Amino acid sequence: MLAAVEGALGRARRYSNIADPMFRLLTSLIFIVGGLGHFGRADDMIARIAESPWRETVEAIGDPLWLLWISGAVFIVGGVTLALGWMTRLSALALFVTLVPITLAIHLAPDHTGPLLKNIAILGALGFIFVRGPGACAIDNRRTS
């Protein structure tokens, strides 16, 4: 019976061309919305940095507000380019490299298990996109004459 269900689900392959842009778009939304939050809710985010057990390390790297703005800009630009499938691998890499220190500094703290695991899942999606490439319906696939 399970084999029959699996066989029926296998017919979803006909939707494979829309799976790539949907995956890129859905993955990118968290960065676009989150990046906008880095600017619109900067005070809240700076307060979270101040509560982090890694606050001193963050401050040693640079001014937390500047770091917040830089990461917000990377999230917005990287999210848009990822959604479009333009410079897809570079976008995934930039988002990955930006998300790792945020995950360690902010979410590797008591009572942050949910956000920590969410970020780990997102890092997995970015790794998948980086290795696989843009997939279907991406600007990267256009050939110039």
Each of the 145 residues of the chain gets a pLDDT tens digit; together they read 888 887 777 777 777 789 999 999 999 999 999 999 999 999 999 998 888 888 899 999 999 999 999 999 999 999 999 999 999 999 999 999 999 999 988 887 777 678 889 999 999 999 999 999 999 899 999 865 4
The first and second tokens of residue 72, run together, are 């917000």
User: Angle, to 10 degrees, between the axis of helix 88-102 and the axis of helix 64-84?
Assistant: 150
The domain locations on the chain are 13-139
* Residue 3, pLDDT score: 82
* Residue 52, pLDDT score: 85
**What is the reported pTM?**
0.88
* Residue 1, pLDDT score: 81
Cβ neighbours of residue 83 closer than 8 Å, sequence gap 6 or more: 21, 24, 25, 28, 29, 32
* Residue 12, pLDDT score: 72
The first and second tokens of residue 105, run together, are 């500094």
